[in-house]
Each structure stands twice: as C-alpha cells, then as structure tokens.
Amino acid sequence: MAKKRAFDVTTLPGFTFIAVVAFVLLYAPIATLVIYSFNGGNSVNQWGGFSLQWYVVAFNNEAVQDAAIRSLIIALWASVISTTVATMAALGTTRRGRFKGQTLIYIIINQPLMVPEIVTAVALLIFFSSVKVATGYTGLGYLILAHSAFCIPFAYLPIKARLEGMDTSMETAAADLYATPWQTFRYVTLPLLLPGVIAGAMLAFIISLDNVIITEFVKSAGQDTLPTYMLGQLRRALTPEVNAISTALLALTVLILIVFVFVTKKRA
Amino acid sequence: MSIAGGQRSKGANGWLLSAPALVLLVFAASGPLLIVALYSVLEKGDYSGVRWILSGDGWFRVLFERDIFDQTVSLADANLSIFWRSVKLSISTTVITFVLGLPTAWFIATRPAKSRAFWLFLITIPFWTNLLIRTFAIMEVVRNEGILNTALISAGLISDPIQIMYTDTAVLIGMTYVYLPLMVLPLYAAIDRFDFRLIEAGYDLYASRWQVLRGVILPIIKPGIIAGSILVFIPSLGAYVTPRLLGGGKNMMIGNFIELQFGQGQNWPLGAALSTVLLLIVLVSLVVYTRVSSRDNPHG
C-alpha cells in the first residue's frame, strides 16, 4: 500500500486536479493558436511544416500595416491622456481624508468598468454620429477620446494604490524646507509615484490596444484598428495570417505585462 | 502638504484635480448614456436615427409586437427567446466558472509564497489578452474541422464531426473560457486573506472535508464569490464578440440584438430601450452586490 501523506489542512479533495485541468484548458487553445501561426500550410488546423511565411504575409499586408499603425497611435494617445488625468484625479482623491462628493467621483471614474461595453458603444455611436454631422470632422479624434475615457479606471487604480502605500513624511519634510507645492510635487511626490504612473500607463495602453466593441461602433469608414480588422477577417475564410497577427499582439501584451510586474514590484 | 494642500479646502482641491478626468468621462462615457435613455422614448426614423417626437414604441417592442394587418398585440417570442438565452447562458457561465475557478484560486493561494506569483501571473495573462484572440482560439477548438473534432475522429470515437460551432454550447464554452480569469482573481483575493487555522479548528472538531468547505471556507470567502459572480455575470449578459463569432446569426444574445437595431434592423429607439434595460439590470446587480457585501463584511 502506498504511504499516506501527512494530513494537509489546505488540501481539498479534487481541487488540485480541477485547478490543473483549468490551467490546461486556459492555455491549450492559445498554445494551438500560436503554434499554427508558424504553419507552412494554408490551413489553420492542418500542419504543413514550420514556416514564418504568415508573418511575412501579415507584415506585407497593407491593410494590416495601416491598422497596426492606427492601433498604436490611438493606444499611445489614449494612454498618455488617460494616465495624465488619472494621476491628477488620484492625487485629488487619495491621502487627504474623505470629502463631499468623493463617492460620486469614484463612481464616475469606475463607470467604464461597470457599464456593459455594448451599451457604451451604442451611446457613443449615437452621440458621435451627430457630432460628426454637426462638425464635419471624421478623424481619429473620436476614437482617441473614447479610448482615453474608458482607459481612465485602468490607469487610475495602480496610481491610487501606489499613492495609498506612500509615506507622506517626505512631502511634509519638503514643505518644511520651504518647497512650494509645485516643487514638492515635481521633486518629491512625482518621482515616488512614478512606478504607479508607468504601471497605469501600461495597463491603459493594453486596454486601448485590445478594444474591439467600442472601436467597431465609433470608427468611421477606413479606420480599422488591428482588432476590428481581425473581427472582419474572422468571419471570412481563415488563413494562419490571423494566427500570426494574434501571436504578435499576444507577445506584445505578455511583454508589457512582464515589464509591469517588474515596475510594480520595485519598492521606492 | 502635497501640491493640493494649502489653505483651500480638501474638497475643492479634490474636485479640481479630478475635473479633467471627470469631464472626459462625462463627455465620452457617462453622458452619452443619458442620450441613449432619451432616444429610447423617441420615434424611429425612416432609415436609421430618430424623429424628435415622443413615442413609447421603442419600449413597447422590447416585449411585444403588433400584427401589421390586424394590429393585435402579442408577446414578441423572438425577443423573449433572446432574453432567455442571454440569462440562461450568463447564469451557466457564472456557475461553471465558479466550479472551475474556486479550485483554481484555492490552488494558487495555497502554493508556497515563491511560486504563487508565477501561478497568479499565468491567470493574469489570459485576463489581459485580447478577447478577440481568446475567442478565436476557442473557435479553432470547437469548429467542425477544429482540434476537438479532429482529435475525436482520429481517436475513432466519432466518425462525423460534432456540430458545436454556431450553437449555444459553443457560446457557453467560449464565455466560460474568456471570463474564467474574472472569477479566479477575486476568489484568489478572498482566499489569500483566509486564516487557515480556522480549517484546522474545523477538523479538530471532527468536521469532514465537505463540512469544512461548506461550513467554514465558503461563508468566509463569500464576498469573493459574490464579486467573482458579478464580474462574470455582467459582461456575460452584455457579451457581444463571443456570441457573434461562436453563436453565428441564429444564436443571438442581447448584445447582438442591440447591435442589430443599429445596423440592419434600423430601429434605434428599440436598440436604445434594450440598452437601457441592460443598463438597469447591471445597476440592480451592483446595488444588490453592495448591499450584500456590506452586510456580510462589516469590516471591509
């Protein structure tokens, strides 16, 4: 008979098994998708030898190039704008005790996390379509605005968390040494806060880069981003080109997340 | 004192510093929601859009239809089946993600401190990965020529592929897959704070494992269970991408039905009314959540 292991209070029957199954189920489809992006054949599920041809195809596809550049432009703007306003809001709502209306500010800031995306998408479609008619402007501005707005809570949360963990004594010391409020902020608060700001900007960047639904509804003709381009492709005959684009996006996301983990781990 | 210190009141500074974020959000997120509510009570335009005349037709058509010949009113069965499918699939998704998610969260929380971050990171990657990519990955599994059918056929278990794609089952598999991390993360947060000595106490008092799970663990991590359920249920109910790609045209959910009204359906007031309904359901769930969690967790 097998030797019985010591009784461990943290073990529950079947839990480890189900957990392992869950991890396998989470990763098997993604792994398959990545593997078939290196397929030499034309099929997304018939293996035809290792090849990078679909990356070349995707890279040389003008529609993909345009969509990728558009995605990056929007994501950069959205992360810069949302992080800036989120930093200010975090400074305004953290470490100074409660004030009247604070809950309302929290609700508005976190609203994009709560409202179903399809509802926001429809709302922006209605609103921006009349603005488009009224102003005649049909540029990327609408997408940048919409993305900046729904990225705010993602930028806000890590910055707020960082601020709450920060000691106020340094700022008090600076003020005691006759630093102006701006000098205190610029030379004391901001450098201490920076990891939170970078983390917030990165999350906002990923969220903007990945957005499908709101972009699909707000974009004007010829303003496909990488995800909306892929959405269009997924309804047609599939080639491993979609796998290649997905894998590239996935790699970028993982890379940003790894940097994120290192930035947030470092303590000031 | 920080930049916002000085003589001015805390509140004024808080509002001032938050103002740019609030303006942006009210302009490009919250404000337009009010326009949706307004459009739901206007008359439908000839093609798309609305006429600026008050009308209850948008709301009427959420549940009813009027016969075009004799004007008799009847329940709109097509709409009801879409609502029923949405609710059924969202509840099923929540339950399945919980059954898979609880052991997963438990597993991560009971790893040694060193490897815990790694396992947590493994859950975080899918969480931050593009929803479209994850749905595409599931499409490749359940398609007739997909991995699952290919594997079953080559194993000799079936001779013809099972039609999973474009069924409710495909949507359920897809939603479970994409929303599982949303269940695991709050459950993990709750279990991570769990005092494992309580389990020891339970065993000392001759509780079985099942009794410990039901009587000790589940009540204590209840806030995490509620948070996870809300986080899965709300996006499931409003899901758009997953049912569109995996369910096809026939197996619509509310999200796709709303989109239809702004596309081919060309009935903006109905679409706006449906959006408002979805919004209200979410609001009610959140209120219930806040009530329940503040009652259960007086310290939190």
Outline where DSSP puts E strands in B16-83: 42-44, 50-54, 64-66, 73-75
Inside any domain, residue A72: yes
Determine, for residues A156 and B33 on separate chains, whether the beta-carbon distance falls below 8 Å.
Answer: no
B265 reaches A (C-beta below 8 A): no
Which residues in chain A have Cβ-Cβ distances shorter than 8 Å to B263?
A: none
User: Which residue in B52, B97, B242, B5 sits closest to A181, CA to CA?
Assistant: B5
Find, in chain B, the residue whose alpha carbon is nearest to that of A44.
B140
Which residues in chain A have Cβ-Cβ distances shorter than 8 Å to B122?
A: 23, 26-27
CA–CA gap between residue B166 and residue B250 (Å, rounded): 8
Picking from B32, B103, B138, the nearest residue to A18 by CB comes out as B103
Say how many residues make up chain B: 300
- Longest Cα–Cα distance of chain A, Å, equals 81
Cα angle: A129, vertex A133, A136; to 5 degrees = 115
B134 reaches A (C-beta below 8 A): yes
Determine, for residues B3 and A181 on separate chains, whether the beta-carbon distance falls below 8 Å.
Answer: yes
Give the amino acid at B139. Answer: M
Identify the pLDDT of residue B286. Answer: 85
In this structure, the strands spanning B50-54 and B73-75 are: unpaired
Identify the pLDDT of residue B7. Answer: 43
Tokens encoding B74: 């009847």
Find, in chain B, the residue whose alpha carbon is nearest to that of A172.
B1
Find, in chain B, the residue whose alpha carbon is nearest to that of A244.
B133
Determine, for residues A22 and B14 on separate chains, whether the beta-carbon distance falls below 8 Å.
Answer: no
Instruction: Answer positive or negative: Cα dihedral of B138, B140, B142, B147.
Output: negative
Domain count, chain A: 1
Inside any domain, residue A167: yes
User: Which residue in B153, B136, B135 sits closest to B144, CA to CA?
Assistant: B153
Inside any domain, residue A22: no
User: Which residue in B177, B175, B185 sits closest to B224, CA to CA?
Assistant: B185
Chain B contact probe: residue of A8, A26, A152 with most B CBs at under 10 A: A26
Determine, for residues B140 and A14 on separate chains, whether the beta-carbon distance falls below 8 Å.
Answer: no
Domain extent, residue A140, equals: 61-265
Identify the pLDDT of residue B296. Answer: 60
In this structure, the strands spanning B64-66 and B73-75 are: antiparallel
User: Which residue in B132, B116, B29, B47 sits closest to A109, CA to CA?
Assistant: B29
CA–CA gap between residue B142 and residue B99 (Å, rounded): 21
> What is the DSSP annotation of A24-85?
HHHHHHHHHHHHHTTBSSS-SSS---B--HHHHHHHH-HHHHHHHHHHHHHHHHHHHHHHHH
Flag residues of chain A having pLDDT under 70: 1-9, 44-45, 266-268
Query: pLDDT digits over A229-264, tens only?
Result: 999 888 777 788 899 999 999 999 999 999 888 887
Smallest CA–CA distance, residue A223 to chain B, in Å, is 18
**What structural domains does chain B harbor?**
10-73 (no CATH), 77-296 (1.10.3720.10)
Which residues in chain B have Cβ-Cβ distances shorter than 8 Å to A250?
A: 129-130, 133
Tokens encoding B27: 């302009």
B225 reaches A (C-beta below 8 A): no
> What is the DSSP annotation of A197-257?
HHHHHHHHHHHHHH--HHHHHH--TT---HHHHHHHHHTS---HHHHHHHHHHHHHHHHHH
Inside any domain, residue A45: no
B231 reaches A (C-beta below 8 A): no
B60 reaches A (C-beta below 8 A): no
Which residues in chain A have Cβ-Cβ distances shorter than 8 Å to B30?
A: 108, 111
Question: Along chain B (300 residues), what's the average pLDDT of each consecutive run of 10 residues?
Answer: 50 87 93 93 83 86 82 85 94 96 94 90 90 92 86 88 92 96 92 84 84 85 89 92 89 93 88 94 86 62
Picking from B1, B11, B128, the nearest residue to A99 by CB comes out as B11
Which residues in chain A have Cβ-Cβ distances shorter than 8 Å to B177?
A: 25-26, 29
Inside any domain, residue A37: no
Determine, for residues A92 and B13 on separate chains, whether the beta-carbon distance falls below 8 Å.
Answer: yes
Q: What is the pTM of this model?
A: 0.88
B298 CB burial (10 A radius; 0-12, 13-18, 19+): exposed
CA–CA gap between residue A234 and residue A226 (Å, rounded): 12
B44 reaches A (C-beta below 8 A): no
Identify the pLDDT of residue B297. Answer: 54
Identify the pLDDT of residue B285. Answer: 85
Identify the pLDDT of residue B300. Answer: 40
Size of interface A-B (CB pairs under 8 A): 288
Picking from A99, A234, A249, the nearest residue to B10 by CB comes out as A99
Identify the pLDDT of residue B229. Answer: 92
Determine, for residues A118 and B39 on separate chains, whether the beta-carbon distance falls below 8 Å.
Answer: no
Inside any domain, residue A23: no
- The CATH number assigned to the domain holding A233 equals 1.10.3720.10
